[in-house]
Amino acid sequence: MTEPGPGGGTAPPAPAAGTSPLRAGDRYDGEPPRAQVCETHTAVVFFAGDRAYKLKKPVDLGFLDYTTVTARRAACEREVALNRRFAPDVYLGLGELRSPDAQAPEPLVVMRRMPADRRLSRLVREGAAVDDALRAVARHLAAWHADAPRSREVDEQGTRDALSSRWEAGFRQVRALAEDGVVPDGVAETERLVRRYLAGRARLFDSRIEQGRVVDGHGDLLAEDVFCLDDGPRVLDCLEFDDHLRYVDGLDDAAFLAMDLEQLGAPQAAAYFLARYGEYSGDPAPSSLWHHYVAYRAFVRAKVSLIQARQGAPGAEAAFRRLVSTALRHLRTSAVGLTLVGGLPGSGKSTLSGALADRLGVTLLSSDRLRKELAGIPAEQSAAAGYGEGIYTPEWTARTYSVLLDRASALLSSGESVVLDATWSDAAQREAALRMAERTSAGLVALHCHVPRDVSTARLGTRAPGASDADAFVAAAMEAGEQPWPEAVAVDTSGSLESAVARALAAVRPWGTGQAPVFRRPYMEPD
């Protein structure tokens, strides 16, 4: 047991010298740890021997009211019941403190005292190897989420509109706290990125509810409250004063700890933890949602830091700026985008498309492969024909682009960014892509690959059979009908692939690609 801090956080008591109990039920050998007292705005915790006793303060903070013994008893009972879900052998039950002058005994929560040297936050700060511990916590959390309570009331908190309301409430609070009406740096961009992401992702959030991903979870998963014992982790101090704040997407619950690990200076540990959680929970969420939830948790903590800054707390202003920066990094990474990579046959567009999708970790769709899929033939089988003949008639091309955009639309609505590899020589096709990106609130970047004609001719003459059937004669005919594409970023692919990829990345992600940890392996279109 550790002292509960603001928002359910904790402040560690000093570890006892010479003791390191590894299991929640172990007795202390030799001299027991020293007695201690810790205090926050809602509780007083007494540590004695291998026990901890938590008293609720008789306070009314608006969002909670503990001013009566009855209310404090109910709060203690609720804390024990909820936290036993995660650590049943730590939360022993209710006790009472009797005073000669009190009309009624004071209720308290009785817990086993956890070894401070096994606290996850301390291990991370000391640079200890924590992969095994994080894997165990991820498995523990995923197992809990699999059987956690679900209901219509719980699901309502997982909708896009519910998440939007929580974001907007945070924006209003931060703006209200702004000194002289000047909005702090980064907040305006945060608002813009959040609103754009949520506007086009109703399908994603609806699917999360349909999959049963919204649960009665922990709600306040901090590294300070995780203890890594030899017989498994103990996760303490869940959020108990407002059920609705605990009704979250399981991924949101896990993202809280990932955000906290980042703030402890361990972004790779955060990425590792979320990857293991995704593995154990079998969660198909796109990486954009992982980043969005981490950003949300960072912004909530930033808001608390700003409140503390206005109260004069030392270091709180710097913490606010750091947390808003964290939120922005993840929001930029989570932004759903559509990238059109076009060019004539032999221009290197397919090679660049594959390399770019791989580097970004996004979905790649190819018009060449899709055209043959629609024709019912293997992608590598030749369907060579004259220009505008066979499966390359205008009707076949129109059908191919229509299905290509439909598939991209479904992916974008589900939070997956997409690279579309096609010629894009027709301005009407590009306009259709732009309208689709607008409908799904996705950013669009167009890249136009080009090389000198002798280079493309040489490539077409030597390349192995593949999804594209175009030869030099077809390429020449297409060039004659290619329409101007002034809004596209020109990419010369006649040099190294790395140089072309760097040019493309600068256009697609001008803020850089190292903004936030990569949470999942890239998903590539299957052959």
CA angle 37, 42, 47 (to 5 degrees): 20
Q: State pLDDT tens for residues 415-464.
A: 999 999 999 999 999 999 999 999 999 999 999 999 999 898 888 888 77
Phi and psi of 164, rounded to 5°? -60, -40
Strands 443-450 and 418-421: unpaired
Joined together, the tokens standing for residue 210 give 């349909």
Q: pTM of the entire structure?
A: 0.86
Q: E strand or H helix at 228, and its extent?
A: strand 226-229
**Res. 380 pLDDT band, cuts 50 70 90:** confident
How distant is the alpha carbon of residue 301 from its chain centre? 15
Q: How far apart are CA 502 and CA 247, in angstroms?
A: 42
Q: How far apart are CA 142 and CA 134, in angstroms?
A: 12
Q: State pLDDT tens for residues 208-235.
A: 999 999 999 999 999 999 999 999 999 9
Burial of residue 185 (CB within 10 Å: 0-12, 13-18, 19+) is: exposed
Statement: residue 24 has pLDDT above 60: no
Give residues with Cβ within 8 angstroms of 147, minimum separation 6: none
**Res. 521 pLDDT band, cuts 50 70 90:** very low
Instruction: Give the pLDDT score at 527.
Output: 31
Instruction: Give the pLDDT score at 517.
Output: 62
Q: Please spell the DSSP secondary structure of 373-419, one letter per residue.
A: HHHTS-TTS----STT-GGGSHHHHHHHHHHHHHHHHHHHHTT--EE
Instruction: Give the pLDDT score at 471.
Output: 85
Statement: residue 13 has pLDDT above 90: no
Average the pLDDT over 338-345 and give the result.
96
- Computed over every residue of the chain, the mean pLDDT equals 89
Average the pLDDT over 271-287 and give the result.
95
Joined together, the tokens standing for residue 499 give 């140089």
Instruction: Give the pLDDT score at 311.
Output: 84
Statement: residue 405 has pLDDT above 50: yes
Half-sphere exposure of 517 (CA within 13 A, CB side): 22
Average the pLDDT over 280-308 and give the result.
95
Q: How far apart are CA 280 and CA 78, in angstroms?
A: 29
Indicate the range of 12-16, 147-151, 287-291, 484-488 predicted with least confidence.
12-16
Residue whose structure tokens are 């999708």: 357
Statement: residue 140 has pLDDT above 60: yes
Residue 466 identity (one-letter amino acid): G
Percent of the chain with pLDDT over 90: 73
Q: Could you report how far apart the first and last alpha carbons of the chain are, in Å?
A: 53
Joined together, the tokens standing for residue 356 give 């770019």
The angle that helices 250-263 and 287-310 make with each other, rounded to 10 degrees, is 60
Instruction: Give the pLDDT score at 2.
Output: 40
Distances (CA, A) of 339 to 116, 236, 308, 507: 49, 44, 42, 10
Residue whose structure tokens are 């629609």: 374
Instruction: Give the pLDDT score at 29.
Output: 53
For residues 32 and 245, the answer to whether their CB atoms sit within 8 Å is no
Statement: residue 523 has pLDDT above 60: no
Q: State pLDDT tens for residues 354-373.
A: 999 999 989 999 999 999 99
